[in-house]
Amino acid sequence: MSGWLDEAEQMALKGGKKTIQKLEVKVKELELELDSEQKRHSETVKTLRKNERRLKELLFQSEEEQKNQQRMQELVERLQNKMKTYKRQVEQAEEQANMNLTKYRKTVHELDDAEERADIAESALTKIRTKNRGSFGKGFSSGYSTPYPPLVRPPSSVGSESRGEKVLSDDNESVSSLIPTYLNSLKKLMVE
């Protein structure tokens, strides 16, 4: 009976050793599997962090692009406003230039009329002087042909006065009014 117990004990010990060996092998496999899982987890964490950094970079880049787009839009609006202002200024300048051109043409027309009247007056004066040459000098010194030299100017000065600075610069005095004044002074001299 004791032999049988010893044999059973031996069998139990052998079976326990085999079970222990199997368990040890299983533990080693599990440890290897755990190491592998830990490595995979570590790689996954690294990849996750890398992706998070990339995501932050993309978000920052997107925000910068939105800011740049907004700045560009504001710049475009400012340039459009400047273009409108310049366009208005050009239109005003063109309008002013047209007004000045109209004034210039009117002045040239008045000047032409004044020159024509001056030529007529000069011709009439020459005829009057020729006709009344003898009666002009009576009773006066030989140095003057008229009693009022400042009032009677030579024909060349009549034309130059009608073309002079005074005519062009004085807006209140009409060009055409100078010649009748001159002719009236001549008539007064003739009457005297």
Contacts 24+ apart (CB under 8 A), 167-176: 167/111, 167/114, 168/107, 168/111, 174/110, 175/110, 175/111, 175/113, 175/114, 176/110, 176/113, 176/114, 176/117
**Residue pLDDT, tens place only, 38-86:** 999 999 999 999 999 999 999 999 999 999 999 999 999 999 999 999 9
Q: Is residue 86 part of a domain?
A: no
Q: Is residue 17 part of a domain?
A: no
Q: Is residue 15 part of a domain?
A: no
Cβ atoms < 10 Å from Cβ of 151: 14
* Residue position matching structure tokens 């839009």: 73
Q: Is residue 62 part of a domain?
A: no
The pLDDT score that the predictor gives to residue 171 is: 41
In angstroms, rounded to a whole number, what is the distance separating the alpha carbons of residues 101 and 89?
18
What residue type is 158 in one-letter code? V
Q: Is residue 74 part of a domain?
A: no
Average the pLDDT over 22-47 and give the result: 92
Q: Are 161 and 178 in contact (CB under 8 A)?
A: yes
The pLDDT score that the predictor gives to residue 153 is: 44
In angstroms, rounded to a whole number, what is the distance separating the alpha carbons of residues 170 and 182?
18
Counting the structural domains of the chain, the total is: 1
Q: Is residue 120 part of a domain?
A: yes
Nearest to 188, CA basis, from 151, 158, 137, 156: 151
Domain span at residue 170? 106-191
**Residue pLDDT, tens place only, 114-170:** 999 999 999 988 888 888 876 645 544 444 444 444 444 444 444 444 444 343 344
Per-residue pLDDT at 97 exceeds 50: yes
164 or 33, higher pLDDT: 33
Question: Helices 155-162 & 178-191, crossing angle to 10 degrees?
Answer: 150
Q: Is residue 76 part of a domain?
A: no
Q: Is residue 90 part of a domain?
A: no
Beta strand segments in the chain, E: none
